[in-house]
Structure formats: structure tokens, C-alpha cells
Amino acid sequence: MNFSFLRQLCKIHAPSGSEEAMSQFLLKYIKKEQKNWKVQPKILIGEDFQDCILLIFGEPKTAIFAHMDSVGYTVGYNNNLIKIGGPSAKKGATLVGEDSQGKIVCELDAQEDEHQFLTYSAKYKRILDRGTTLTYQPNFRNDNNYVQCCYMDNRLGIWSAIEVAKTLENGVIVFSAWEEHGGGSVGYLAKFLYEGFGVKQALISDITWVTEGVKHGKGVAISMRDSGIPRRSYINKIIALAKKSNIPFQLEVESAGGSDGNALQRSPYPFDWCFIGAAEDHVHSPDEKVHKKDIKAMVEMYAYLMQLL
């Protein structure tokens, strides 16, 4: 597997609400590379979709949702940092961004507790512009077994969807926004797909957690539930297909966590959904770590299911 594209994705500054740079990067890449794909999709973009991208392949029945945004921080008053989503970096983590005075490289510093962060103590000499967004400084690591960097969640979900796009004949790939901070785009995207194409099945291309029940190197995780509970008949159908595939997978059952699937379930459209993704360690930190066997299984499972659903 070639992870050079994934390395590029991890460098892009795109916390929730600031997906424009990621959207533009993906559009440029897709327009350049789609000539090499089995089917050239119809690309849907524009004000009605905000920064989101929809790729329509053939006659779609199922959509893959991959969110473009990451966790991060917003500069508030007196250089206080307000969380975007649920970042979990420790004191001393390097943050990067840009404001009217130029590029920013600073350290995360907790003065009172883990919820009150400052960008500087004596180490950073200027006040940052209010509203500036900061993200982790990427440090991409690629060894024999693991890929590690900030924002595997969800740059790896995007990467996997693009890998599937190369051979996809029928389906939709959706690059969505705001997932880390509670969603916001999936409702109107679901409306468009259901009313315009009759699509009402979804797979959520996202990254989950290594837990006591989901381990590194044991295959892609098929989630039976997290904070949301998808329709059991759809989950059973996917598990039955997965068992026939000879692709390694693990079943996930969690009480917490959420995804674009939860937003689909809250929409007024009858979407079935299932979260399928590789598991990572060091969630929402600068050091998110995923096993290559699970990445391979994730791409293979998506390609297989999109042919059969």
C-alpha cells in the first residue's frame, strides 16, 4: 500500500468548520486522477453542498460517507483555546495555524485543568487573532506494521474511500463536514441522495478505537452499535456478507462514540447505515496509530460490500 497520499492528507489544516482547504485539495486530486479509475464519476459540488463533495458512480444504491474535518482548537479571549470536537492532546503538544500576522507554531499549555488551554506561557510572545483555528503539527510515521500521525481520524477514512473509488462501478462517495463537532452536513446530503437517486443505504468510512474488544491487526471493525443503534436487519446483512468474504473483520459493540451514521439516523430519511473502519490507538491525539493489516482489510471490505449491497 502506498501512503504518500495519506501523508499529504494529514498535512492539511481542516478542523470542523474549516473544511474548505481539504475540499479544494480533494477536488484537485479527483479531477487529476479520475481518468485512471474504472468509472469516471459525476462530481457534485457548489453552494447547495457548502464544502462537501459527492461523487456519483453509475447507478448508485449505497453511499460511503467519509468526513473531511478533524478535531482542533479555536483561539478565544486572552489566548484561551476552545476545543473543536474532543481533542485529547497533552501539555506540550505542538499546534500549528495561521492568522493575520503569519504562520503559528506554538505549544499547548494547560494552566488550570485539562479544559482550559493556553497557547503560550513564556515561550510564545504574541497574542493570536481571535477565532484562529489550531491543529496538531503532523509527524507522519510509517513502519512495517503501523501508520501513525495526527488525524488518521479521518484522513485514513478519506484515503480508503479514494482507494475504493478506483474500481467502484455503482455507488456514491460523500466527503462530509463538521462530523467531529456534532455534524451538520449529513442531513441535507441525505435529503439530496434519497430524493434525487433513491439511495437509502450507507457505510460510514471512519476510524474507531482500539478497546478491550477491538484489537490491532485483527481486521476491520464492523460496528453493531456505539452511541447510536443502527437497524439490526441491515447490520445482520452486512455481517453475513462479511463472513463470506474471507476478509478479516472484528465486531464492535460500544456504548459511546458517534459518526455520520448518527446524523443519518436523526435525519427524516429512511437510511440504513453501518460504521466500518480500522481501529486506532491514541484517539484524537497527535499520535493516532493504525495497523496496516486493518487498513488493507478496510479497503477490501468496502470494495466487496459496494458490489453486493
CATH of residue 163's domain is 3.40.630.10
Q: Are residues 244 and 278 in the same domain?
A: yes
- C-alpha to C-alpha distance for 128 and 98, rounded to whole angstroms: 9
How far apart CA 272 and CA 202 sit, in angstroms, is 6
128 touches 79 (CB < 8 A): yes
pLDDT the model gives residue 267? 95
Mean pLDDT for each 10-residue chunk of the chain (309 residues)?
A: 96 98 98 98 97 98 98 91 90 93 89 63 75 97 98 98 98 97 92 98 98 98 97 98 98 95 96 98 97 98 97
Residues 64 and 52 in one domain: yes
* Res 10: pLDDT: 98
Query: Are 45 and 107 in the same domain?
Result: no
Return the DSSP state at 79.
G
Same domain, 286 and 179: yes
Check residue 38 and give its pLDDT. 98
pLDDT for residue 114: 58
What gap in Å lies between CA 290 and CA 240, rounded to an integer?
A: 25
Of the residues 91, 109, 136, the one at which a domain ends:
136
User: Which residue, of 136, 162, 184, is where some domain finishes?
Assistant: 136
Q: What is the C-alpha separation between 160 and 275, in angstroms, rounded?
A: 14
Let me know whether 97 and 238 are in one domain.
no
Judge if 214 and 295 occupy the same domain: yes
d(CA 101, CA 90): 26
Q: What is the pLDDT of residue 116?
A: 63
Strands, E assignment, the chain: 42-44, 53-57, 62-67, 72-75, 80-84, 94-99, 102-107, 109-110, 117-118, 133-136, 141-142, 146-149, 171-176, 201-205, 208-209, 220-225, 249-253, 272-277, 279-281, 288-291
Amino acid at 11: K
Do 98 and 215 lie in one domain? The reply is: no
CA–CA dist 90, 102 (Å, integer): 25
Q: Tell me the angle at which helices 232-245 and 292-308 cross, rounded to the nearest 10 degrees.
A: 110
Q: Does the global pTM surpass 0.85?
A: yes
- Closest to 129 (Cα-Cα) out of 185, 78, 53: 78
Domain that holds residue 84: 73-136
* Partners of residue 175 on adjacent β-strands: 53, 66
Shared domain for 113 and 163, answered yes or no, is no
pLDDT of amino acid 122: 45
Quick one: cell of 126?
Answer: 504574541
Do both 10 and 85 map to the same domain?
Answer: no
Q: What pLDDT was estimated at residue 261?
A: 95
Q: What CATH number is given to the structural domain containing 129?
A: 2.40.30.40
What is the maximum alpha-carbon separation in the chain? 60
**Of 136, 160, 188, which residue constitutes the final position of a domain?**
136
Among 70, 66, 68, which residue's Cα sits nearest to residue 89? 70
160 and 274 both lie in a single domain? yes
Number of domains in the chain: 2
Residues 225 and 281 in one domain: yes
- Indicate the SS3 state at residue 12: coil
The residues, any chain, with a CB within 8 Å of residue 237's CB and separated by 6 or more, are: 309
pLDDT score, position 115: 57
| One domain for residues 202 and 237 | yes
